[in-house]
Amino acid sequence: MKKLILILAMISCTVSMTAQQMQYHLDDNSHLLTRITVKGDYWNMNWLISPDGKKYPWIDKKYQWGNMKNEVPQGLYRVAIQTSVRRWFQGHNIVEEYTIENLSDIPVDMAMMRICTPWNARYLAADTVTTVRCSVQVLTKEDGNTATGVKATRLSGQGPHVGLMVTKGAIGNYVTGDCDDLSMNSQCGVMWIIPEHYMLKPKKKYVMQWHIFAYKDTEEFIWKAKKITGSKTVLNVK
């Protein structure tokens, strides 16, 4: 009887973990993302800042999710690189894979790269409980995590929320920029992910791959993150 109760409890715990389908929309020309949503979300929140210039006139197509530069600074030089991105669904998750090829004759530090990830985290002080903005925690190894990613949480605290976990390569850091908000009392700036310090040799390729998924609370974020990256993953999340 005790064994049966334990099995039923395990089944109940597994079923309680949500399996919500991620959705995205592409720009017809650039094939970069302009929307990330969760199917069935009551508020139909776009987890990205829309790059159409309507809400924030200075945020245009150069801030589409996945935008990368085709050259990076390396000492006194600017080194030519070639970038590409693939994306597909794996179960309910979006998987993106960024490939960076060093076209030059000298090594390139991947920490000089930037990948645009414009999380919809721009908000005024009065918007701190809104259902259509988020706060973002970037998980790096310097903060005690054994895997890297992003935990984005709706400001109201009401799920579903959206997470991102890296399965190839690693996030080293991030920067925010282009904060032209009219209010001084705001959180703003478009986020760019910085890959790990890795010296990419001439004519070689570096791959950054991550999974984007929905979660309902911190417990489920950790459960899904470990399912993606491995059961022994250590995460220091809020």
Statement: residue 51 has pLDDT above 90: no
Q: Is residue 42 within 8 Å of 113, Cβ to Cβ?
A: no
pLDDT for the residue numbered 178: 66
Mean pLDDT to the nearest integer, 106-115? 93
pLDDT for the residue numbered 191: 92
Torsion of CA 64, 65, 70, 76, to 10 degrees: 100
How far apart (Å, rounded) are the C-alpha atoms in residues 134 and 152? 6
Beta bridge partners of 135: 153
How far apart (Å, rounded) are the C-alpha atoms in residues 25 and 32? 8
Statement: residue 187 has pLDDT above 70: no
What pLDDT, in 10s, does the model give residues 208-218? 999 999 999 99
How far apart (Å, rounded) are the C-alpha atoms in residues 97 and 212? 11
Statement: residue 183 has pLDDT above 50: no
Percent of the chain with pLDDT over 70: 85
Collapse the DSSP code of 93 into the 3-class scheme (helix H, G, I; strand E, B; otherwise coil) and give the result: strand
Cβ-proximal residues to 10 (8 Å cutoff; 6+ apart), any chain: none
How far apart (Å, rounded) are the C-alpha atoms in residues 115 and 105? 23
Token output for 159:
């799920």
What pLDDT, in 10s, does the model give residues 122-161? 766 666 678 999 999 999 999 999 999 999 999 999 999 9
Statement: residue 37 has pLDDT above 50: yes
Q: Is residue 108 within 8 Å of 204, Cβ to Cβ?
A: no
What average pLDDT does the structure give for the chain?
Answer: 87
Q: Is residue 208 within 8 Å of 98, Cβ to Cβ?
A: yes
Torsion of CA 228, 229, 234, 238, to 10 degrees: -40
